[in-house]
Structure formats: structure tokens, C-alpha cells
Amino acid sequence: MTASTLEFDGVSVAFGGVRALDDVSFSVGEREIVGLIGPNGAGKTTAFNCVSRFVRPQRGRLLAGGVDLTSVAPHEIAALGIARTFQGLELFKSMTVAETLLAGQHSRRRTMGALSSALRLPSVRRAEAVEIAHAREVADFFSIEQYWDRMATELPYGVQKRVDIARALVSAPRLLLLDEPAAGLNVEALAELATVIRTIRAEFNTAVLLVEHHVAMVMELCDRVCVLNFGRVIADGRPEEVQRDPAVIEAYLGTKVTDDA
């Protein structure tokens, strides 16, 4: 296994008296696709939100490229090469696809540059030109170029989803967090999604951590699967190992192991 891109090290989170995460440890290696699954309320989303720093762990460390994420502000996560998508998409409703993809590259310029922006100095123009070119490449990859000047929120749901993923990828992250990417997709789109995610890894050289209800897809797609139940890691390993794990079967008992949620 290569050096880890993201490492959970004994992370615990409690809301009031409820332990959402209890001593969770697992890691995502470089260019690895890892699935995070578990029954409802198992703590998947909380784990995800810990990485985005929307939730602060009470104990434990979260390492990304040697930096402890618990000590950085939420908006600094992107600059560390971690990008995420949202289950509710959270597209910017005042922006076109093009602007969304430019906004996605926000973290690539480190300074605010208020003064140089106000005067629109040549450096700003150059940076903008580079960003536009990059945005076009990414748009091309996701086949959303024909919507370039359309308002993102006015597009069909499937296209919006692609815009959401493109917005995350356009920042050239080392780790992409996908929050239930399969939600709301039909069967064909589902099949396509797995391919898309693999291609993303190949093309963009990024590791992927996805939270997903859709167990079958996770098993097919992921290099490694981490199963949470009641805030604890009950299994962590290759899909076929995990699938056979009695603890996992027990956790999913009463619900369908293979299909949706």
C-alpha cells in the first residue's frame, strides 16, 4: 500500500450523548477508490463531514498529506487537495456551468488579490485564461461543454450531477469525496457512474472516497471498502473479504445486502 492520502486515526465524534463516530481508523491510499458504507445512522456522513471540517472530532487525528485536518479551517481543506461533492448538489444558482467550473478552481489561487483584481492587472488576466482553459478541458471530459453558458441549476438532474463532480475535480484534488453519487440515478446511469469514477481516477490522478448506500456498486467499483455500524468500523478490506465478513452480514441483516438502501 502506498502512502495514505487520507488517514482517520482514532476519530471520535459525539452529538450530545450519541456517539456518531467511535474510535474510527481507516485510510485512503494514493489513487485508491475507497467506499464507505453502512446502514442508516452508521456515521458515514459524519465521517465525511469530519474531512470537510463541518464537524469537529472530539478525539483522534485526521491526516491528509501529513497535515492534521482538525487544525485547519473548513475553507483551507480545498487548498490541501481535497474536494467534495454534495448529495443535494448545492450548485450555485446564480452561476452558469462555466462560472461554476471557474469557481471550483477558487483554491488554486492562494491570495485574495483584491487590488490586482480591482485593476484587472495582466497577472489576473493570465490566471483567468489558464483557469478558463482548464475548465473547458474538464467540461469536455464530462460532456457538459454544450451547457457552458447555461445556468447550472436549470439543467436536467443528471447534468447537474456531472456539473457537481466537475466542480470538485476542476481544482485538481488529490482526494475526491463523493457523497452518495448514485442517489437518484437510473439503472443505465448507475452502470455508467462506476465507469466514470474509474476514468476520473485514471485521468485526474486522484484518490476517491465515496459514501454510498448502493452496496452493489460499491462492491464492484472500489479497491477497498470500509463498513461502519453504530459509529464503529466493523470491517475494512477488499470488497470480496468484506462481503463475506459475518459482522457485515449481521449489520445488514433485515435489510438487503446487495441492492439500494
Partner 1 sequence: MHLDLQLITSGLAIGSVYGSIALGLVLIYRSTGILNFAQGEMATFSTYIGWSFVVSVGMPYWVGFLLAVLAAFLLGAVVERVAIRPVQNQPHLTVVIVTLGLFLLFNALSLKFWHSDVRPFRSPFPSGSVHVLGTYISWVSIGIFGVSLISMAFVGIVFRFTKVGLAMRAVTSNPMASALMGISNGRILSLGWGLSAAVGAIAGMLAANRLLLDPNMMQGVLLYAFAAAVIGGMTSPVGAVIGGLVMGVTNALVSSVSWIGSDLSLAATFIVLVLILLVRPQGLFGRQIEVRV
Partner 2 sequence: MRSVLHGHPRLVGLVISALVTWLLNEVLFPTPLNGYLVVLFAYVGGVVVARLSRGDHRYAALGPLVPLVFLAQNSIGVTELTQILILAIAALGLDLITGWTGQLNLAQGIFIGLGAYVTAILASKHGWPILLTLPLAGLVAAAAGLLLGVLALRFDGVYLAVLTSAVALAGPVLLLHYKSITNGVNGIIVNQPQPPGAFADWLDTDQWGYYVTVVMAIIAVCISWNLLSGRIGRALRALRDSPIAAKGIGVDLTRYKVLAFAVGSFWAGLAGGLYAMTIGFVSADSFGLFYSIQFLTIIVVGGLSTISGAFVGAVVIYELSTNVQTIGFATTVNGVALSIPQAAVYAILLILVVIFAPKGIIGIFSDKSDWSRLTQRLRGGHNRSTDVVQAQADRPPIVRLDAPEDPHPAITSY
Dihedral, CA of residue 48, residue 49, residue 52 and residue 55, to nearest 10: -150
Query: Pairing state of beta strands 59-64 and 224-229?
Result: unpaired
Min dist. Cβ of residue 72 to partner 1 (A):
17
Min dist. Cβ of residue 74 to partner 1 (A):
10
Q: Of 20-49, which residues contact partner 1 (CB under 8 A)?
A: 49
Applying CB under 8 A, the span of 8-16, 24-32, 114-122, 213-221 interacting with partner 2 comes to 114-122
Binding site partner of 70, from partner 2, partner 1, none, Cβ cut-off 5-8 A by kind = none
Nearer to partner 1, 86 or 148 (CB): 86
Q: How far apart are CA 37 and CA 220, in angstroms?
A: 13
Binding site partner of 25, from partner 2, partner 1, none, Cβ cut-off 5-8 A by kind = none
Min dist. Cβ of residue 76 to partner 1 (A):
17
Single out the residue of 29, 17, 3, 65 nearest to residue 226, CA to CA: 29
Write phi, then psi, for 44 (nearest 5 degrees). -60, -50
Q: How far apart are CA 171 and CA 53, in angstroms?
A: 18
55 binds partner 1 (CB under 8 A): yes
| Residues that contact partner 2, how many (by CB under 8 A) | 48
Which residue among 3, 18, 54, 198 contacts partner 1 (CB under 8 A)? 54
Binding site partner of 55, from partner 1, partner 2, none, Cβ cut-off 5-8 A by kind = partner 1
23 contact partners, CB below 8 Å, separation of at least 6: 10, 11, 12, 59, 60, 232
Return the half-sphere exposure (C-beta side, CA atoms, 13 A cut-off) of residue 120. Answer: 3
Q: How far apart are CA 174 and CA 171, in angstroms?
A: 9
Which residue among 1, 17, 118, 186 contacts partner 2 (CB under 8 A)? 118
Amino acid identity at 216: A
Q: Which residues bind partner 1 (CB under 8 A)?
A: 49, 54-55
